[in-house]
Structure 1
Amino acid sequence: MTISVFILILVSVAISALAQISLKAGMSAEAIQLALDSDTDRLDTITTIASNPYVLGGLGLYGFGAILWLLVLARIDVSMAYPFVGLGFILTMVFASLFLNEQLTLVRIAGTMLVVSGVFLVAKS
């Protein structure tokens, strides 16, 4: 694997993790929570969700990340590339702590480190 492909993988995974944070921020918005908890028309609820800038941004980030991922798959075996998606667990956990003030517990960190260990083993193969 070349360094450029490795960087492409990392950027794709990071963008997907940021997409998760953006989607969570959008879905936590008061207007969306009210729409989900009320008896409003489902179309109104969908419109409220679809017009939230964080939700739209998250979907856009996923689209861009998918395009980058396609470039990765064009260059290396999927069995080599896909384990790196596990790094998204780490990035999502860190980004959630930084941007959403979610707690990092010892159990979450330990579980994430197990995932990283697996990614490392696959990368070395």
Structure 2
Amino acid sequence: MAYFFIALMLALTCYGQLVLKWRVNLAGSLPSDLNGQLHYIFSLLSSPWVISGLASAFLASICWMLALTKLDLSRAYPFTALSFILILISSAFFFGDTLSLGKMIGTALIIGGVCVIAFVT
């Protein structure tokens, strides 16, 4: 069950990051004046999508706490690195971010590290 909560935490984290990026992209650039910046932030914070993204972070935290009831922190924490992989792939798919060779090598190293910590030790 702990790994289910970790998977759910990862999914919620990824969802939240993607939604926030999507809405920030739609909102455009941050204005230079303080009044414009406050309006910009309030506009984002009043968006149901942004609220859902922030709520997903809260729910991800709850899932994380539930996972930690069953796993040592040193065993569970490396799985959080999988969020880098999920975001890398998702941001390329949804936002057209580039997948460079360096990013792919880094991703392979992350996967290898998580496998070693989770399954070998």
Structure 2 length as normaliser, TM-score?
0.88
- SS of the counterpart of 1:37? coil
Counterpart in the other structure of 1:26: 23
Counterpart in the other structure of 2:88: 93
Match of 1:103 among 93, 98, 101: 98
* AA aligned opposite 1:53: P
CA RMSD of aligned residues (A): 1.6
Match of 2:43 among 39, 45, 48: 48
Q: Tell me the CA shift for residue 40 of structure 1.
A: 5.3
Note if 1:119 corresponds to 2:111: no
Structure 1 length as normaliser, TM-score?
0.85
Counterpart in the other structure of 2:55: 60
Residue ranges of structure 1 left out of the alignment (5+ in a row): none
1:81-103: CA deviations, max 9, x gaps? 00000111111111112222222
1:33-57: CA deviations, max 9, x gaps? 25x1242514322211212333222
Paired-residue identity, %: 32
Give the number of aligned pairs.
119
**4+ aligned runs moved over 3 Å, structure 1:** none
Residue ranges of structure 2 left out of the alignment (5+ in a row): none
